[in-house]
Structure 1
Amino acid sequence: MRVGTGEFYNTAAPKARINMTLNEDLVRVAREYTDNLSDYVEKLLAEAVSEERRRKMENDRHLKEVCTSWNDFYEKHGSPAEDYIASFLPENDET
């Protein structure tokens, strides 16, 4: 895998022969657009995996921002639950 190419998998890896079950009519229609169905499916699969990786990284980034925001809030204001829970604790309980 070459660095900086945007590739997330080794495009020079050997091809693997696999078995797949696909809708026959969909395959017929797809063959109207390509004479190399394997290459066509490989490119579509790479695009789909790339999009899923992008979506996951964006989701991870968002969750990290939420956690940071919550931690900042907690540092400044404490937990909002502490005041609520305190009203249910006995007067001398220092939990």
Structure 2
Amino acid sequence: MTHFDSRALKRPVNLSLNSDLVRRAKDLTSNLSDTVETLLAEFVDAETTRRAETQRQIDALVEASNGFIARHGAFGDEFSTL
């Protein structure tokens, strides 16, 4: 479900990575850049999905709270001087 322009130009970036981890990763893949790009795309998709779900939960809670207040009033209304 990758939602990025896979045809976009590639550009060099500076990253600070553990040198031992990079060495070990290079032993496991013939193209470290493509491997990292794939993993980064998966992370972006997962994080975007997680954040959207969190927002849906917040929206549902606000809607439920607003409905409760509309039916029963807000806690403390009886004490309000406004």
- What is the CA deviation profile of residues 17-60 of structure 1, one whole-angstrom value per residue up to 9, with x for unaligned ones? 11222111001111121010000111111111111101100000
2:27 corresponds in structure 1 to: 32
Count of residues paired in the alignment: 82
State the TM-score, normalizing by the size of structure 2. Answer: 0.91
Which structure has more helix as a fraction of its residues? Answer: 2
Displacement of 1:7 after TM fit?
2.9
* Matches of 1:7 and 1:51, distance apart in 2: 10
State the TM-score, normalizing by the size of structure 1. Answer: 0.79
Specify the structure having the higher radius of gyration (Cα): 1
**Aligned match for 2:46, one of 24, 43, 51:** 51
**Aligned match for 1:22, one of 17, 20, 29:** 17
- What is the CA deviation profile of residues 70-93 of structure 1, one whole-angstrom value per residue up to 9, with x for unaligned ones? 01101100111112x24xx5xxxx
Q: Which runs of 5+ in 1 are unaligned?
A: 1-5, 90-94
The percentage of aligned residue pairs carrying the same residue is: 37
Q: Which runs of 5+ in 2 are unaligned?
A: none
- Aligned-residue CA RMSD (Å): 1.2
Q: Which amino acid aligns with 1:38?
A: S
Name which structure has the greater RCO, CA cutoff 8 Å, separation 6+: 2
